[in-house]
Structure 1
Amino acid sequence: MPRTQPPSPRTAGSRGEGAPPRPVIDASWRRVSRDGVVPGQGTESERLDREVLEGRRRTSALREVLPELGRGLAGAAQSAGQVMIVADTEGRVLWRSGDRRTLRLANTISLAEGAAWEERATGTNAIGTALATGSAVQVHGGEHFVRVLHRWTCAAAPLHDPRDGELLGVVDLSGPRSTFHPATLALVQSVTRLAESELRLRHLESVEVLRAVAAPLLSRIGGPALVVDPQGWVAGATGLTPPRRLPLPAAPGDSVDLPGLGPCAVEPLPGGWLLRVREEAPEDGDGPGRIVLDLTGGRRAVLTVAGGAGGSWSARLSPRHAEILYVLAVHREGRTAAQLALDLFGDAGRTVTVRAELSRLRRTLHGVLDHRPYRFRDGWETELRLPSGPGDLLPASRSPLVVRGRGVCDSLSP
């Protein structure tokens, strides 16, 4: 396919020359400048040793879709004189393949297995910037902050686990600047979506297998019980109407307190867990409790609930649910569907989307939210924990209220 060069951007190493950078590049330059990256530095990093690298490969869910990624991108990389890179959530290169000559060139800039390519290590680049923004991005030539990368072009897209929205890593195509093609980013995005679809299909198949195991087991249980997979997706239930998914800890142990269910005895099953609901009510009943929305982890948002009939529990939030709860934490008095639509999308007319998201969220976090208007439960103490860095408030979010919140954090930072 023919290769065309994009318009020349203003380069990071020579401010003021050429056209202004695109907004995504300008925002990245500001981040890496705050992190102490300088245009004249190199891209060398301390690589993971072989044992640690192999350990990350074995435990990474990206391993499951390597064949899918290879079928979609490895051949294209080879023919275009580029390399395919698969990196984890820290920007560490786990796997790479492609044109041999380009692989040798990649070694000279430390684009090698085990090397770090997050923004704070190597400046603006497709891998690190896709991780920082949560969005697909192409970085060409002088858009790289570090000058040694000006001869390169790269396009990357984040890959998420469809079971819980968790970021698994980044898929990237990189090569010399002469290998640029305007369709490269679209290709990377398409292959990444196919890989996510493969993970989704495997998850559905595993739940069906677990459902077959659960059916005869649940039929012999007298009280309320559920069978869930390791991510909390419900494969079967008896004696109650279950949600689609429960905020189950990674290692629940012998018992766990779950929202809407209370204390549950936990028994391991092949491919999941049996949860027997203990029907005795806790002494504190439905009394007031405490809700903590912790956004200090950047892309990792956690809700912790203590008190009430559901006991104490924590749940990792999807990006959209984190945005919604942030809005409700800022507006403790509550928000209508139209107000939430304006806060989240800048469009008060998107109430259908808002109501659907709130319905899912209220089922998942049973007992935490009230409605008419939507708000945190009345009478409960609510704490919002914000990150110290202005750009770390839900960094992948484009919600108008979140964007304004980053400005507030910036004005409060030292």
Structure 2
Amino acid sequence: MADKPQYPPLPFYMRRYGLVRKERRMVGNIAGGRSPRYGTEPDAQLGALEAYAAQAHGYLGIGGDQLPRLAGLLRPAVLESWLRSIRSGVDPMDVLGGRGLRGADLQRYRETHPIAALMPLIDKLLVQDTARTGLIVVVADQFGRVLSVHGNAEQEAAVAEIGLRAGNDLSERRIGTNAVGMVVRTGRAAWVHGPEHFLHRMHLITGAAAPVHDPDGRLVGVLMIAGGVRVAKPEILALVKAAATAAEMDLLLMAMRSGERTAGESDTARPHPAGRLGLDVLGLGQPQLSVADDRVPLSQRHAEILLLLAEHPEGLGADHLALLLDDTDLGNGTIRAAMSRLRAVVGATVVGSRPYRLRVPIATDVEALRAALDSGDVDSALRLYAGPVLPRSTAPGVIDIRDELRVRLRTAVLSSGDSEVLRRWTAGPEGRDDAAAWAAYRATIDRNSPMYAQIEAKIRVLDLRLGADATQMQRFGA
């Protein structure tokens, strides 16, 4: 077992606000009444991990030219999350506010969410046994919104003090690096220990989280076990992943039992008199709806709503749609007014109610781009990508779609090994300063070619601009 590490000097803002004393008072409750122990983390000593993460917070407090030093102190996945948190403007000293979905609004949202049907299984597999061990089970939706927290009363109160409370938003853009936020962002299981959390108020917990996907592969929720350093053990992450897999199988069985909806049901998508509709939302141009040979300009809000409904053919309740459109929690009256105005533009038969859903098939350029990526046709995907999804939109649901497509496309481009594909990507606005793409492009060019020298010069410019090795920083998501 490793000795307790000697931490670097604490950043001035930790000393100033007295966080150390407060966190030490809370650790007993959060860790189930036990003092932290070191040396239990798989593949590395927890003490060293904590010391490095604490030092990274010191550099974060200084900022500026010290930020490149983070790369040597944090695990790669955690570093990528920190850099995203920095770009999102998250304050590591953020204090807990009262914002969140509460009361009847939370209850309605929770009851209509797909995870509701899985709660008996989650209770049996995770909650009943885990809560008795002094740990906490957190169930969140696909956006990082906490649906429920399970543990004994003392533990629930302790974690509520740091923000693990039903209705709160744990997404990276709201609170920075944490296990739930990383799962939402990446779609992969993750664990975050102590000072690896971006917010100081979360430094005394460890979280292990796993995604739950529906039969179509879409993220529907996140399961997390949280508590003290015991959560850093590999068997805890294995347990939560196994529970998530069981939940996915349950969703698949439910889908198989329900089968296809009959053609006579009122919520079945019906043909439009003018034929199939099309929605264009990629790029800087004004979003448009195609109806036969006509193109109808759409406002930003109307395009957001149509895209979100196209992405959720099962329909969206008013509360759910409000969360996807605005993280300040729009009222149901605002949603009803927006839907009324949308029907006036696209026709009364296009959108149904209770829940809101498309009653007419709409083909989107987002759907076409995904199909090209799914088939491995990177060349076609790059042609279809006119630019980011609704680039001026700040709707959380749209941001998630935008980020997903850009990451998928960039990954496909970098993996293609095709010089023409890489040339087109690096010539565009999103690839112009993508050092990793330039490096991949260089690898496809003959060293004796004049183009090789031009690419080499571009990479050197990027190195100088970042003040570090550009290719290495791009690999970490900077």
Shorter chain as denominator, the TM-score bin is 0.5 to 0.7
Instruction: Kindly report which structure 2 residues correspond to 1:221-260, keeping only aligned pairs within 5 A, or say none.
Output: 227=263, 252=269, 255-256=271-272
Q: Which has the higher strand share?
A: 1
* C-alpha contact (below 8 Å) 2:136/2:150 kept by paired residues: yes
Query: Which position in structure 2 is the counterpart of 1:4?
Result: 40
Distance 2:182 2:368 in 1: 20
Deviation at 1:180, TM superposition (A): 3.1
Report the CA distance shift for 1:49/1:322 in structure 2 as closer, same or farther (over 3 A): farther
Instruction: Kindly report which structure 2 residues correspond to 1:75-94, keeping only aligned pairs within 5 A, or say none.
Output: 75-94=128-147
Deviation at 1:411, TM superposition (A): 4.7
Distance 1:46 1:39 in 2: 17
Task: Say which SS state the counterpart of residue 58 (structure 2) adopts.
Answer: coil
Structure 1 runs not aligned, ≥5 long: 215-226, 231-249, 265-283, 290-295, 304-310, 333-381
Query: Which position in structure 2 is the counterpart of 1:323?
Result: 373
Structure 2 runs not aligned, ≥5 long: 1-36, 60-68, 278-291, 296-303, 312-359, 392-398, 416-421, 435-478
Deviation at 1:22, TM superposition (A): 1.4
Query: Which position in structure 2 is the counterpart of 1:386?
Result: 388
Query: Which position in structure 1 is the counterpart of 2:286?
Result: none
Report the CA distance shift for 1:201/1:49 in structure 2 as closer, same or farther (over 3 A): same
* C-alpha contact (below 8 Å) 1:32/1:120 kept by paired residues: yes
2:66 pairs with 1:30? no
* C-alpha contact (below 8 Å) 2:207/2:224 kept by paired residues: yes
Report the CA distance shift for 1:331/1:114 in structure 2 as closer, same or farther (over 3 A): closer
- What is the TM-score of this pair, normalised by structure 1? 0.58
2:117 pairs with 1:106? no
Task: Say which SS state the counterpart of residue 168 (structure 2) adopts.
Answer: coil
Equivalent position amino acid for 1:384 in 2: A
Distance 1:169 1:161 in 2: 9
* C-alpha contact (below 8 Å) 2:193/2:205 kept by paired residues: yes
* C-alpha contact (below 8 Å) 2:276/2:363 kept by paired residues: no
2:233 pairs with 1:184? no
Distance 1:50 1:106 in 2: 19
Deviation at 1:101, TM superposition (A): 2.9
Equivalent position amino acid for 1:122 in 2: I
Deviation at 1:80, TM superposition (A): 3.2
Distance 1:111 1:29 in 2: 19
Distance 1:166 1:329 in 2: 23
Give identity over the alignment, percent. 28
Report the CA distance shift for 1:17/1:34 in structure 2 as closer, same or farther (over 3 A): closer
Deviations 1:355-380 (A, max 9, x none): xxxxxxxxxxxxxxxxxxxxxxxxxx
| Equivalent of 2:218 in 166, 170, 179 | 166
Distance 1:82 1:396 in 2: 34
Aligned residues: 292
Report the CA distance shift for 1:85/1:401 in structure 2 as closer, same or farther (over 3 A): same
Query: Which position in structure 2 is the counterpart of 1:365?
Result: none
Query: Which position in structure 2 is the counterpart of 1:63?
Result: 116
Distance 1:186 1:228 in 2: 44
Report the CA distance shift for 1:319/1:167 in structure 2 as closer, same or farther (over 3 A): farther
Instruction: Kindly report which structure 2 residues correspond to 1:88-167, keeping only aligned pairs within 5 A, or say none.
Output: 88-162=141-215, 164-167=216-219
Distance 2:388 2:131 in 1: 45
Report the CA distance shift for 1:83/1:256 in structure 2 as closer, same or farther (over 3 A): farther
Q: Which has the higher helix share?
A: 2
Distance 2:205 2:104 in 1: 30
Instruction: Give me the CA root mean square deviation.
Output: 4.4
Deviations 1:30-50 (A, max 9, x none): 000011112222344502121
Task: Say which SS state the counterpart of residue 32 (structure 1) adopts.
Answer: helix
Task: Say which SS state the counterpart of residue 124 (structure 1) adopts.
Answer: coil
Instruction: Kindly report which structure 2 residues correspond to 1:354-373, keeping only aligned pairs within 5 A, or say none.
Output: none
Equivalent position amino acid for 2:362 in 1: W
Task: Say which SS state the counterpart of residue 180 (structure 2) adopts.
Answer: helix
Equivalent position amino acid for 1:327 in 2: V
